Amino acid sequence: LGLLGDLRRALDAGDVELHYQPKVRFDGTVAGLEALVRWEHPERGRVSPEEFIAIAETSGLMPQLTEYVLETALAQIARWRAMGLKVPVAVNVSPRDVHSPGFAGAVAARLARHGVPPAALQLEITEHVMLEDPQRAADTLAGLTGHGVKMSLDDFGTGYSSLVHLRRLPVSELKIDRSFVARLVVDNEDAEIVRCTVDLAHSLGLLVVAEGVEDDETWERLRDLGCDAIQGWLVAAAMPPAETTAWLRLRH
Ligand code: G
Ligand code: G
Ligand code: NA
Ligand code: MN
């Protein structure tokens, strides 16, 4: 498969980019940014992250991709901080990463090397981290929180959303998957699922972010349901670094 080789070369050449999508509170303040990888293939054009992340996962390239994303995000966080823009940035990590021995220590070392305080980085994980070796995953996550890195549980509701995992995972934020958000206004069952998720998360002391918010009506419903922040095209799609800087400056 040519795509794997192309991805490996793109990572070596620094041709993979990170774009940043804001997470915004209902008072308009910025809660953070999520880093999302973007790859423009020289012949095929933009390749969907879903496609090349799946390739990276099955081929063993994931550690390199995550390393690249972490390095790029940390360098960007440091640049923004130097400009006075202090916004936490979330990086997506895969179950592979969480099962790799030494991952927590490696993240802490990278933070130190970039002079970035741990609280400026957030890691987004999914419930899949608990599928393979829950004990090892729990150890890694405990190591990360021990270093002061905050964790966010992504795509909540799409996996097998075990309450046991929700209780055991040391996350401080829960992200409601956009499949529940999309039809919130027209589907009563989705609205009830969102309501229960917000209440459950709050009773566990977690912040709640709703993903994929595209219109004002959905924004209002989420506010009324007590959600803490939203992410979605209503506010902004993921933007290249320079555009993100301009966007942040307008808000600070
Ligand atoms: O913007 P969107 O098409 O970016 O993202 C598609 C999927 O790819 C999402 O599930 C998202 O979490 C995932 N994704 C985006 N960037 C990264 C990344 O840097 N690392 C990992 N592991 N997943 C990512
Ligand atoms: O799995 P994860 O939640 O990290 O993936 C986020 C995905 O959702 C990315 O592909 C991102 O580009 C996409 N996304 C972000 N905001 C919106 C939105 O408002 N509507 C839709 N349909 N997709 C969105
Ligand atoms: Na994510
Ligand atoms: Mn998500």
Q: In this prediction, what percent of the chain has a pLDDT beyond 70?
A: 99
- Note whether residue 198 is domain-resident: yes
What's the pLDDT at 61? 96
- Note whether residue 84 is domain-resident: yes
In angstroms, the CA 54 to CA 65 distance is 11
Average pLDDT score, the chain: 95
CA of 12 to the centre of ligand 2 (A): 27
Which of 49, 146, 130 shows the shortest CA–CA distance to 92? 49
Q: For residue 158, is pLDDT > 90?
A: no
What's the pLDDT at 134? 84
What's the pLDDT at 164? 77
CA of 229 to the centre of ligand 3 (A): 14
Q: Which ligand is nearest to the CA of 37?
A: 1
What's the pLDDT at 161? 67
Q: For residue 30, is pLDDT > 80?
A: yes
- Note whether residue 170 is domain-resident: yes
pLDDT digits (tens, 9 = 90+) for 46-55: 999 999 999 9
- Note whether residue 1 is domain-resident: no
- Note whether residue 172 is domain-resident: yes
Q: Which ligand is nearest to the CA of 23?
A: 2
- Note whether residue 143 is domain-resident: yes
- Note whether residue 169 is domain-resident: yes
Beta-bridge mates of residue 230:
24, 210
CA of 160 to the centre of ligand 3 (A): 17
pLDDT digits (tens, 9 = 90+) for 88-108: 999 999 999 999 989 999 999
Q: In this prediction, what percent of the chain has a pLDDT beyond 90?
A: 87
Nearest residue by C-alpha to atom 20 in ligand 1: 92
The pTM assigned to this predicted structure is 0.96
Helix segments in 132-204, DSSP class H: 134-146, 163-168, 178-181, 188-203
In angstroms, the CA 198 to CA 126 distance is 17
What's the pLDDT at 157? 83
- Note whether residue 4 is domain-resident: no
The structural domain count of the chain equals 1
Q: For residue 1, is pLDDT > 70?
A: no
CA of 53 to the centre of ligand 1 (A): 7
Domain that holds residue 92: 62-236
Nearest residue by C-alpha to atom 16 in ligand 2: 232
In angstroms, the CA 20 to CA 196 distance is 29
What's the pLDDT at 98? 92
CATH number of the domain enclosing 192: 3.20.20.450
**What ipTM score was computed for the predicted complex, to two decimals?**
0.96
pLDDT digits (tens, 9 = 90+) for 167-218: 888 999 999 999 999 999 999 999 999 999 999 999 999 999 999 999 999 9
